[in-house]
Amino acid sequence: MDYQSHLHKFGPLLSEAYVTMIVGRWLHHHRNIMNEEIKQGKFKTLDMLHHFTSGLKSLYSQMAYDGIELVRVNCGGAGYSAWSYLPQLYYNYSPVPVYEGDNTVMAQQTLGYIQKKVKKIQQKIPAYGVFEYLNHLEALLKEKNSANTVEQFLDIKFLEKALSIRAAYWVSDVLKKLSQKGMKKKTAMNDLYAQDLLAMSRNHHLYLSFLIYIQDVEK
């Protein structure tokens, strides 16, 4: 961490660790809520949790997998020594991105919930909570940059706005492409826009993770 080059590599990994821990705690809380609802024959939270767990499993497990390798390589010879435990950690964790389905498939499963949310919004039923940005897709895409200084670019509110615009772009772009008439769903999702779906899932869940983290910190 004393070297700038290493700080730029390890700093983001440390940030990711804090975010994933807090979001994981948030998911655990909502899983407990879901379990209590199911006992009462209610399944309101189930669909939302499936959306989060599939998308975040894809995102977080890949982040962790890539992060372990980054640390191992940047520790030089020590990173390849059994004494560091990094080779064993890499070996133990390597199957995780495949558990419960390849990360590509898991990421694609986030689409259905977003489509349901947007359809309800079109029926004048707004989204709430961390999904609220879906109410304002068109407005977000019309936003203009208002930052001019380093301090303004580093402002947490500016970062939140930038992440919301990026997520809105990918959601709008993918939904528009998939709504083209005369195109089979399988062809669109597997042959034409598979990479777009992955980018949408990643940026959508990065933004939601940011919101959950900020809300927890500001409590």
* pLDDT score of 8: 87
DSSP 97: G
- For 94, residues 6+ apart whose C-beta sits below 8 A from its C-beta are 65
Residues 126 and 177 in one domain: yes
Tell me if 188 sits within 8 A of 174, measured CB to CB: no
Cα 202 from Cα 198, distance rounded (Å): 6
Residues 21 and 94 in one domain: yes
DSSP line for 107-143: HHTTHHHHHHHHHHHHTT----GGGGGGGGHHHHHT-
- For 43, residues 6+ apart whose C-beta sits below 8 A from its C-beta are 37
Helices (H) and strands (E) in the chain, counts: 10, 0
Residues 148 and 176 in one domain: yes
* pLDDT score of 219: 81
How many independent structural domains does the chain possess? 2
CA dihedral 56, 62, 64, 65 (to 10 degrees): 150
* pLDDT score of 6: 80
Write out the residue range of the structural domain in which residue 165 sits: 111-217
Residues 9 and 96 in one domain: yes
Domain final residue pick, 45, 75, 106: 106
Ordered per-residue pLDDT tens for the chain, 219 residues: 677 888 888 899 999 999 999 999 999 999 999 999 999 998 989 999 999 999 999 999 999 999 999 999 888 888 889 888 999 999 999 999 888 777 788 888 899 999 999 999 999 999 999 999 999 999 999 999 989 999 999 999 999 999 999 999 999 999 999 988 888 888 888 888 989 999 999 999 999 999 999 999 998
pLDDT in tens, 2-21: 778 888 888 999 999 999 99
Question: CA–CA distance from 163 to each of 89, 169, 190 (Å)?
Answer: 32, 10, 27
pLDDT in tens, 68-112: 999 998 888 888 898 889 999 999 999 998 887 777 888 888 999
Q: What pTM, to 2 d.p., does this model score? A: 0.91
Cα 66 from Cα 100, distance rounded (Å): 19
Domain final residue pick, 56, 84, 106: 106
Tell me if 110 sits within 8 A of 189, measured CB to CB: no
- For 150, residues 6+ apart whose C-beta sits below 8 A from its C-beta are none
Domain final residue pick, 106, 126, 160: 106
Residues 192 and 150 in one domain: yes
Cα 57 from Cα 113, distance rounded (Å): 16
Location of structure tokens 């990711």: 16
Cα 172 from Cα 70, distance rounded (Å): 33
Pair of tokens at residue 40: 């009462």
Rg from Cα positions in the chain: 19
Residues 131 and 50 in one domain: no
Residues 22 and 82 in one domain: yes
Residues 8 and 71 in one domain: yes
Residues 84 and 43 in one domain: yes
Residues 211 and 136 in one domain: yes
